[in-house]
């Protein structure tokens, strides 16, 4: 077989990697949860850091199903670790499981129910319903949900409350849920939607209940999406009249227009990070774009949807030019390539697959595949996904967050359904 220049270059790099200082010593006894990379994974990491490309070999369907099995097992263990009262925020080697995290427990309910339907497996449905019951139990008297992990604080969080709505709405409308639980989730949803309504400022923004006091991030566009999903579910269930739904739509439109002022003419985003002036992890960039795309389509605001799409196009241009994804970007799309944020990659795969479904534009399908392929080698033997690659990177350092697994499963789902 005639070898191409690329084949020879790859072989040269492989020899250097396997004999050089970049190779890490293998653990004699692998801890089930420790971040021990396989030889193949280390090679992929070396390529990612040094040659700016990954070998485009997409796994078979059976291999993807195995990865999903591992991830689902990890999620079930994260719920068992809290006594079936929510999913643990993260797993940390040597320290074990953390307390439950209401925000991400809320939206991972959707993932569990999707896989319960795909696999016809009642375990995932049962776990989802247990999570929903716990969320109904811990809702605060004013209808809000507290930020942080369970028991950390009682300070209400706008963003966390909105994310929990995704799970409450799904169970409230699920024909498989017991009637009593559907009613409980609908009541919790009604109170949460009303609380967000009461927190909205005249300009549409949410100033109260912030992650950082005084900072209103652009990724609140995803809170608008959750708010709309909650209100629409109440209308479809006959709990809210049409007039109430129309009122929420107008307020959500005002909110989205407020956050859209941060979608800049250069097709980039201002204030998409966790703090003012900070570069944004791909995790919050994806949050922002998901929120704008879905909210704009629910509100039939094609102009806002097009603006979000142009930002997504620009991000893909940057990704294509470098042939790899940075862990975070500044507003000028200058990337920090010292690490990869697997959570963000998984979310971006989900986003671009949705763009492809909604527009039938082929490059989005390719983008979805590329973002997913970049993180496939880094799933741990336990099924978890690290916050950063390398493991000591700045996002969720030395931890396996539950939402990384949730979005990884969401990214796999379209390929498992084919």
Whether 329 is in a domain gets the answer yes
CA 23 distance to own-chain centroid? 31
Whether 175 is in a domain gets the answer yes
Measure Cα distances from 204 to 200, 280, 308 in Å: 6, 23, 19
255 and 306 assigned to the same domain:
no
370 and 407 assigned to the same domain:
yes
Condensed to tens digits (0 to 9), the pLDDT of residues 261-274 reads 999 999 999 999 99
253 and 343 assigned to the same domain:
no
Whats the size of the chain, residue-wise?
418
Q: How far apart are CA 189 and CA 195, in angstroms?
A: 10
157 and 201 assigned to the same domain:
yes
Plot region of 398 (φ>0 → left; ψ -120 to 50 → alpha; else → beta): left
Place of tokens 């893909």: 316
Domain with 213 in it: what CATH number? Answer: 1.50.10.10
Average pLDDT on 332-337 reads 97
Whether 110 is in a domain gets the answer yes
For the four alpha carbons of 34, 40, 44 and 46, in that order, the dihedral sign comes to positive
- The reported pLDDT for the residue numbered 42 is 53
Q: Answer yes or no: is pLDDT of 11 > 90.
A: no
Q: Which of 10-19, 90-99, 336-345 has the lowest mean pLDDT?
A: 10-19
Q: What's the token pair of residue 144?
A: 């809000």
**Total number of domains in the chain:** 2
Whether 395 is in a domain gets the answer yes
Condensed to tens digits (0 to 9), the pLDDT of residues 70-79 reads 999 999 999 9
Q: Answer yes or no: is pLDDT of 1 > 90.
A: no
Using an 8 Å Cβ cutoff, are 397 and 337 in contact?
no
Whether 194 is in a domain gets the answer yes
Place of tokens 């300070």: 155
223 and 289 assigned to the same domain:
no
117 and 212 assigned to the same domain:
yes
Final residue belonging to a domain, choices 261, 295, 310: 261
Closest CA to 167 of 255, 101, 71: 101
Condensed to tens digits (0 to 9), the pLDDT of residues 223-253 reads 999 999 999 999 999 999 999 999 999 999 9
Q: Answer yes or no: is pLDDT of 46 > 60.
A: no
DSSP state of 87: -
Share of the chain above pLDDT 90, in %: 84
Condensed to tens digits (0 to 9), the pLDDT of residues 52-69 reads 444 457 889 999 999 999
Whether 140 is in a domain gets the answer yes
Average pLDDT on 201-225 reads 93
Q: Answer yes or no: is pLDDT of 88 > 70.
A: yes
Between 367 and 42, where is the model more confident? Answer: 367
- The interaxial angle of helices 342-359 and 402-417, nearest 10 deg, is 30
Q: Answer yes or no: is pLDDT of 222 > 90.
A: yes
- The reported pLDDT for the residue numbered 12 is 46
Contacts of 363 (CB under 8 A, 6+ apart): 316
Q: Which of 120-134, 203-217, 272-286 has the lowest mean pLDDT?
A: 203-217
pLDDT band at 49 (very low <50, low <70, confident <90, very high): low
Final residue belonging to a domain, choices 261, 292, 310: 261
333 and 241 assigned to the same domain:
no
Average pLDDT on 318-347 reads 97
Condensed to tens digits (0 to 9), the pLDDT of residues 145-181 reads 999 999 999 999 999 999 999 999 999 999 999 999 9
- The reported pLDDT for the residue numbered 45 is 54
234 and 307 assigned to the same domain:
no
- The reported pLDDT for the residue numbered 54 is 44
Whether 296 is in a domain gets the answer yes
pLDDT band at 418 (very low <50, low <70, confident <90, very high): confident
- Domain with 243, as residue range(s), is 100-261
Final residue belonging to a domain, choices 209, 231, 261: 261
Q: How far apart are CA 407 and CA 385, in angstroms?
A: 10
278 and 254 assigned to the same domain:
no
Q: How far apart are CA 309 and CA 327, in angstroms?
A: 21
Using an 8 Å Cβ cutoff, are 296 and 256 in contact?
yes
Average model confidence (pLDDT) for the chain?
89
324 and 365 assigned to the same domain:
yes
216 and 295 assigned to the same domain:
no
pLDDT band at 99 (very low <50, low <70, confident <90, very high): very high
Average pLDDT on 309-318 reads 98
Closest CA to 212 of 129, 170, 273, 303: 273
Average pLDDT on 122-131 reads 98
Q: Answer yes or no: is pLDDT of 22 > 50.
A: no
Whether 209 is in a domain gets the answer yes
Q: What DSSP letter does each residue of 272-292 carry, written as one string?
A: -SSSTTPPEEHHHHHHHHHHH
104 and 202 assigned to the same domain:
yes
């Amino acid at each position: 077989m005639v070898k191409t220049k690329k084949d020879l270059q790859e072989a040269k790099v492989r020899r250097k990697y396997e004999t050089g200082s970049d190779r890490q010593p293998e653990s004699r006894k692998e801890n089930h949860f420790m971040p021990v990379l396989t030889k193949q994974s280390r090679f992929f990491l070396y390529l990612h850091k040094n040659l700016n490309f990954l070998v485009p070999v997409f796994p078979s369907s059976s291999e993807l199903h195995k990865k999903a099995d591992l991830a689902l097992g990890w999620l079930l263990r994260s719920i068992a670790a809290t006594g079936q009262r929510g999913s643990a925020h993260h797993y940390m080697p040597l320290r074990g499981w953390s307390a439950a995290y209401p925000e991400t427990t809320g939206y991972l309910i959707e993932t569990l129910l999707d896989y319960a339907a795909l696999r016809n497996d009642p375990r995932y449905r049962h776990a989802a319903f247990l999570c929903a019951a716990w969320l109904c139990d811990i809702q605060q008297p004013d209808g809000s949900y507290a930020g942080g992990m369970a028991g950390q604080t009682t300070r209400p969080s706008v963003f966390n409350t909105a994310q929990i709505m995704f799970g409450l709405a799904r169970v409230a409308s699920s024909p498989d849920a017991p009637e009593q639980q559907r009613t409980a989730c609908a009541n919790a949803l009604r109170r949460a939607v009303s609380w967000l309504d009461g927190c909205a400022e005249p300009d549409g923004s949410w100033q109260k209940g912030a992650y950082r006091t005084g900072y209103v991030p652009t990724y609140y566009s995803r809170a608008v999406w959750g708010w709309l999903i909650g209100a629409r579910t109440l209308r479809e269930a006959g709990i809210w009249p049409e007039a109430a739904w129309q009122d929420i739509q107008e307020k959500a439109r005002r909110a989205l227009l407020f956050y859209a002022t941060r979608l800049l003419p250069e097709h980039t985003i201002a204030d998409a990070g966790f703090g003012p002036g900070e570069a944004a992890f791909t995790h919050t960039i994806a949050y922002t774009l998901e929120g704008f795309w879905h909210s704009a389509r629910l509100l039939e605001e094609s102009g806002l949807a097009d603006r979000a799409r142009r930002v997504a196009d620009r991000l893909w241009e940057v990704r294509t030019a470098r042939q790899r994804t940075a862990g975070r970007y500044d507003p000028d799309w200058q990337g920090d390539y010292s690490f990869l944020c697997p959570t963000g990659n998984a979310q971006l795969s989900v986003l671009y697959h949705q763009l492809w479904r909604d527009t039938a534009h082929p490059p989005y399908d390719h983008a979805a595949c590329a973002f997913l392929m970049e993180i496939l080698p880094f799933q741990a033997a336990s099924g978890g996904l690290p916050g950063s690659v390398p493991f000591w990177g700045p996002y969720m350092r030395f931890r396996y967050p539950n939402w990384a697994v949730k979005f990884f499963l969401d990214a796999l789902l379209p390929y498992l359904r084919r």
